[in-house]
Amino acid sequence: MEDNRSISLKRADELHGEIEDFLRFKEEFLRETGEIRDVLSRKHKEELLDYFEADENDWEDWHWQLKHRISSVSLLSKFIKLSDSSIEMFEEISKKYRWATTPYYLSLMDYEDMKYPINMMALPSAYENDESGELDPMGEEFTNPAPCITRRYPNRLIINVTSSCAMFCRHCQRRRCIGEVDRIESEENIQAAIEYIKETKEIRDVLITGGDPMMLPDELLESIIKRVREIPHVEIIRIGTRVPVTMPQRITEELADMLRKYHPLFINTQFNHPGELTKDACRACSRLADAGIPLGNQMVFLKGINNDKYIVQLLNEGLLKTRVRPYYIFHPKQVRGTKHFQITVEEGLKIMKYLRGHTSGLAIPQYIVNAPHGYGKIPLLPNYIEESDEDHIKLHTWEDREVEIIY
């Protein structure tokens, strides 16, 4: 008869077998990152600094990063070799959908492989000519009771304060709002939004977003946060931003010191691939966390980028190491020009089912589908129930073992 230790060791061997494939993947991914990607990124950074006749101090200045965004194919082609047909495609897409990327994010790209995930999130693709989908699948134009406001729920709402972003992601749900130039909402509209919140007593939670609100100067951003914080019935303020990912230089000590004055304040960002978890990005997140700000991540499932169980696990575990809690995984929205990023719900659920048991609960976000026409978020879970009645329930564990609970 086996003793307890023998049974335990046998079980430990089973558990090791469950994760050894992932461990091999992780080792290979991290080796590639360390031996290839980091070296290339440093090389690309040096090339960019040389081209712009800049130095390290310039690179660390977010104003410099913004001023030197790459937004034309003629400039991009000085760094990435593009065929004549690719140049023609870039120019064609640019007439429909604006694009731009920071020098920092460009330095993370693969200059030889346009299907590298970092490239795919930042640079136009011929697939964007696909006209299926909607420009406003969330129906934001019909959930807009006051200037800058989007309201889908009884006790919370969004203030959209700008159309500007450090980088215009190719999967963006608000690409219809980008326009040809960066635009900050007028003071008149921002104040009208704040007055609406003041008059709507049930609002307890305000999300400041855009575009990206971190594109605002510190003084203007603080002015908005301060006015919202002064409303007695507003309990929490949230900020949605991707600058820790695309322009981490924006997260300055001065910004963090300003934000810490307005607790309870939460920040959600959007890392979609572990290749975005650079030292600079992690330092930006740590600076916010050190200011006492809880950080969450809202990944979007994107075909060819993160529709892989090991990529998602590696990303989420990496986020926890930098004190960012995986919060949501969004199913891709039916936005016009983004069909090439779509996956099926079944594919997403399969990845979510894998995560359970293979990583800690802290690293497992909620999988969300946004209902069309602004009717809100729908959480999705794999089905673990085999059968149930008043006397019992049969369930499947994360290993697909069948268990029964008698009431």
Structure tokens belonging to residue 259: 């934000």
pLDDT tens across 311-359, in order?
999 999 999 999 999 999 999 988 888 999 999 999 999 999 999 999 9
**pLDDT value of position 375:** 83
Judge whether 332 lies within some domain: yes
Helices vs strands, H then E, count in the chain: 15, 12
Judge whether 97 lies within some domain: no
| Parent domain of 234 | 140-350
| CATH code: domain of residue 248 | 3.20.20.70
d(CA 211, CA 167): 10
Domain tally, the chain: 1
Q: What percent of the chain has pLDDT over 90?
A: 77
Greater pLDDT, 179 or 301: 301
Of the candidates 82, 24, 41, the residue with the CA atom closest to the CA atom of residue 275: 41
**pLDDT value of position 2:** 73
Judge whether 170 lies within some domain: yes
Distance of CA 312 to the CA centre of its chain: 12
What mean pLDDT do residues 379-403 have? 89
CA dihedral 368, 369, 374, 376 (to 10 degrees): -40
Query: Average per-residue pLDDT in the chain?
Result: 93
**What pTM did the predictor assign?**
0.94
**pLDDT value of position 179:** 61
DSSP 182: -
d(CA 194, CA 143): 16
Judged against a pLDDT cut of 70, whether residue 180 lies above it is answered with no
DSSP 128: G
- Mean pLDDT lowest among 62-66, 294-298, 373-377: 373-377
- Mean pLDDT lowest among 133-137, 205-209, 225-229: 133-137
Judge whether 406 lies within some domain: no
Judge whether 289 lies within some domain: yes
Judge whether 195 lies within some domain: yes
What mean pLDDT do residues 139-145 have? 79
Locus of tokens 């492989």: 113
Judge whether 206 lies within some domain: yes
Judge whether 85 lies within some domain: no
